[in-house]
Amino acid sequence: MTWHRIGRSGYDVAVVGATGAVGEILLELLEKRRFPLRNLRLLASERSVGEQVMFARRSLGVDVATPEAFDGADLVFFAATGELSRTLAPEAVERGALVIDKSSTWRLAPHVPLVVPEVNPAALDEHQGIIACPNCTTIGLVMALEPLRRRMGLRSVVATTFQAVSGAGRDGVLELEAHERARAKGETIEPRLFARSVARNVVPLCDRLAEDGHTLEEHKLRAETRKILGLPSLAVSVTAVRVPVAVGHSVAALVEGERSLDVDQAGRALAEFEGVRFHGGDAAPTPHDVEHSDDVLVGRLRRDPDTGRLWLWSVSNNLRKGAATNAIQIAETMQRRGLLDQRARRTG
């Protein structure tokens, strides 16, 4: 089991899922944002034994994620499977590490903060070892809602999502590509990850159906939005749709406030909010615009003529702000609040 030496001082950090779609961006951002790393441990499944992953122009070996792999870690990012987070995150905490988890496993647990640093950083102070990162679509939605909530309160949100295939990881992109090739040849192949073939199609079923006719993805968006915003009775109605886009989730939302706010004031609130880039007029942001961006782009702001509510369109990179960037921002915020050092000191 290898700790790769990176810097002379800083934290000992393990990344579970280092070979995955989110893990790859996480490593790129750890380097680019100069997160203070002393040692780095790269973890994945047995399938990746012998694999090398690039970090800071060095080729680093990957180990298998086991409980012992967390010995000595100050911080562990989990970007693998929900099942792995369920079994291994408590093991990492037990060994004195702080966990930032990208899976859905711990998000709604009452003792686990669910954090978007621009929105609810104070929730981090209550952590008991595990911090959850929200669903990739939830993050783009709450980043657009929070500036409006601060000005007009929130009563209800009706949202339709347009979710990229990379939301289902590397295999999601491979499935879209395989189905595009098959369709181009006039062939049909069975979908594996998605409910229907997503090539040249739009699929209104993201994840499994629950008994009430909503998908699990729709339930996640509703429950997570309420938890992050601290509004347990906010009405959140969602239809989640998979679209043939590689990267970049979009959301069309109709937002009702407790008080009225005119479109210009709402636009200013969005433009002033850290992490949001507001696009006024006819500038309609699309997934192409977030390919290399950590910002959430919000546009198409307008008043609904019949109800007076506000319509908006939000786009974010599901692998960056929807996953890796948000996770690193959590770690940076914890460091600024002294929460990382508290942990590192306690574990010696």
Binding region for ligand NAP (CB under 6 A): 17-23, 44-45, 47-48, 65, 79-82, 84, 102-103, 136, 166-167, 169-171, 318-319, 322-323
Residue 137 near residue 161, CB atoms below 8 Å: yes
Q: Closest CB to ligand NAP among 48 and 197?
A: 48
How far apart are CB 288 and ligand NAP at their closest, in Å? Answer: 17
How far apart are CB 227 and ligand NAP at their closest, in Å? Answer: 16
249 a catalytic residue: yes
Indicate the SS3 state at residue 261: coil
Q: Closest CB to ligand NAP among 103 and 197?
A: 103
Pairing mode, strands 52-55 and 58-61: antiparallel
- AA letter at 183: R
Give the helix ranges, DSSP H, for the chain.
21-32, 82-94, 136-152, 170-184, 216-229, 263-272, 325-336, 339-346
Q: Closest CB to ligand NAP among 79 and 99?
A: 79
Query: Active site residue: 127, 179, 214, 249, which one?
Result: 249
Give the single-character DSSP code of 281: T
Residue 67 near residue 42, CB atoms below 8 Å: no
Query: Active site residue: 136, 179, 206, 214, which one?
Result: 136
Biggest CA-to-CA distance, the chain: 62
How far apart are CB 177 and ligand NAP at their closest, in Å? Answer: 14
- Angle (deg, nearest 10), helices 339-346 and 325-336: 80
How far apart are CB 65 and ligand NAP at their closest, in Å? Answer: 4
How far apart are CB 85 and ligand NAP at their closest, in Å? Answer: 7
Angle at 298 between CA 297 and CA 301, to 5 degrees: 165
How far apart are CB 229 and ligand NAP at their closest, in Å? Answer: 19
| CA distances in angstroms from 118 to 13, 123, 215, 229, listed in the order given | 23, 11, 28, 11
Tell me the C-alpha distance between 308 and 84, whole Å: 46
Nearest to residue 248, comparing CAs of 312, 313, 307, 184?
313
Q: Closest CB to ligand NAP among 228 and 269?
A: 228
Q: Closest CB to ligand NAP among 44 and 245?
A: 44
**Position with the least CB separation from ligand NAP:** 20
Q: Closest CB to ligand NAP among 84 and 334?
A: 84
Instruction: Give catalytic residues, as residue numbers.
Output: 136, 249
